[in-house]
Amino acid sequence: MLKTYTYPEYPYRPSAEQREGRTLRHPVVVIGAGPIGLSAGLDFARRGIPVVILDDNNTVSVGSRAVCYAKRPLEILDRLGCADPLVAKGISWKIGKVFVRDRLAYQFDLLPESDHKMPAMINLQQYYLEEAMIAAIGREKNADLRWKHKLIALKQHDDHATLTIETPDGHFTMEADWVVACDGANSDTRRMTGGDFVGQFFQDRFLIADVVMQADFPTERWFWFDPPFHPNQSVLLHKQSDNVWRIDFQLGWNADPNEEKKPEKVIPRIRAMLGPNVPFELEWVSVYQFACRRMQSFRSGRVLFAGDAAHQISPFGARGANTGFQDIDNLGWKLKLVLDKVAPEALLDSYDAERIFAADDNLLNSTRSTDFITPKSVMSRRFRDAVLELAETVEGIRPLVNSGRLSRPTPYLDSPLNTPDTAPFKGRMAPGTNCDDAPVTIAGKPGWLLNLLGEGFTVLTFDTRPPVAKLDAGPLSARVLTVGQDFADTRGLVAARYDGEIGTTYLIRPDQHVAARWRSFDAAKITAAMRRACAIPAAGRR
């Protein structure tokens, strides 16, 4: 029981399979109703895929758990229709500070430029996130969220999977064309398919203490190396909603997790940090060990893995849930095209390729952060301490300070779905990159560019007179969005961020990533790029 939150209980209801005593085939079944499973349900339903989401519990996550949600995942949640209440409830921030002992050594700004709809980061307890997503699921006619439904067996066939489900009313079977496993780091689905993790555990332990208090710390990320109140270790401080503060204390590998969670051990640590006269109450306490691991493949036949079921990433840098949301962002549109028989199953192999590339990028950054925070040798410790000392006075050294590189999207620059540039461009919007947002005016009303993207393929063009308003290419189509006609570039930032010379044309994937770009509108080239982005062989090839 928490002091600031009352857990909801969602009702168990027998399914049609149970009531009618027959096996039904579903296009997609999602295992797990945590943040990633819920985002999968929302994404699939909004793309017109009937989806069943199964969870063996009937409430939201216990404890605040994941709390930091980055700009790109917030943009994804905005596309899914549930970002606004999260941003309103959460604590927005963008400034991080790193202290060595009691001195400020380094400061960074996650979003130094303005004019983006979503903030750089919000801090929000995971149970609030899940509640908002469950409410959004309830508004989707294509989504069926079933509580107290536990997957206990899975058998794969050439064109579907058979699932055995345990409920309070007994067992039943159901079938799925595709199964998406979002059941966490201890995934039963992964075990059933024989999947395993590759990677490493780190020999250190950290204490999470969520503390209710009135405090005058700014809404920033504060990280200490060797602070006087916790010598020779590190500490992290974040503010959450409801005056709950997240404090992470490094404990060392020899710490006893059961002992360290006891209030008589936790309270003195917090008292040493805050001082003797600051009142506080413990909200939630946990001890964890770092892991940086992933599955060798995120696809096993008819089963696709996402989130912690596919990869475990150390929490410094907020790359766990944030990476999982981007897994689903990558998967949803591809699964839709495969189910509709518009694209071959080979398109799902690109999910594996693109998201393993992203997972490896996140694992590399998290491993480097962990090695800096917890040096593994005398020489590593000396290097780390030298960097910290020099960072106070030498600006060029400061980027080497690594208290957790905060989550940023990984561009798929080498994806086989990209069509390479044939002309020079400035800026970051290369093929494989997620689209930048910008303020626009739509029919006289203020809006945002990203809210115009994401329903399907979109051609974004700066051509003043494009030849068509919609591009049809057999089973594929793309809406044409013309700058200056369909919307006004309110502050010129669309042109600036997309290097939008007259005639410049982009093909945008349904996950708001750039597939291709040119300096003129050419329907044949756009059609070829769209086929390539769907893994459809070029004409005359098999």
Element (H, E) at 386: helix 378-391
Domain 24-89+116-195+294-368 has CATH 3.50.50.60: yes
- Name residues whose C-beta falls within 8 Å of residue 341's C-beta, 6 or more positions apart in sequence: none
Domain coordinates of the chain in residue numbers? 24-89+116-195+294-368, 200-291, 439-533
Whole-model pTM over 0.85: yes
Say what the pLDDT of residue 321 is: 87
Count of C-beta atoms within a 10 Å radius of residue 463: 19
Which residue stretches of 424-515 are H helix?
Answer: 493-497
- Name residues whose C-beta falls within 8 Å of residue 180's C-beta, 6 or more positions apart in sequence: 28, 29, 30, 31, 37, 40, 303, 304, 305, 306, 331, 335
CA distance 352 to 346: 10
Instruction: For residue 443, give the amino acid letter.
Output: A
Q: Are 200-291 and 439-533 in the same CATH fold?
A: no
Say what the pLDDT of residue 540 is: 46
pLDDT-flagged residues of the chain (< 70) = 64, 315-319, 539-542
Six token digits for residue 467: 């030849």
- Name residues whose C-beta falls within 8 Å of residue 496's C-beta, 6 or more positions apart in sequence: 427
Please identify, in words, the CATH class of the domain defined by 439-533: alpha beta
Residue range 358-377, pLDDT digits in tens: 999 888 888 888 788 888 78
Say what the pLDDT of residue 523 is: 94
Instruction: For residue 211, give the amino acid letter.
Output: V
Domain 200-291 has CATH 3.50.50.60: no
Residue range 1-26, pLDDT digits in tens: 788 999 999 999 999 899 888 999 99
Say what the pLDDT of residue 465 is: 85
Bridge pairing between strands 234-239 and 244-250: antiparallel
Say what the pLDDT of residue 65 is: 79
CA angle 84, 89, 91 (to 5 degrees): 110
Instruction: For residue 181, give the amino acid letter.
Output: A
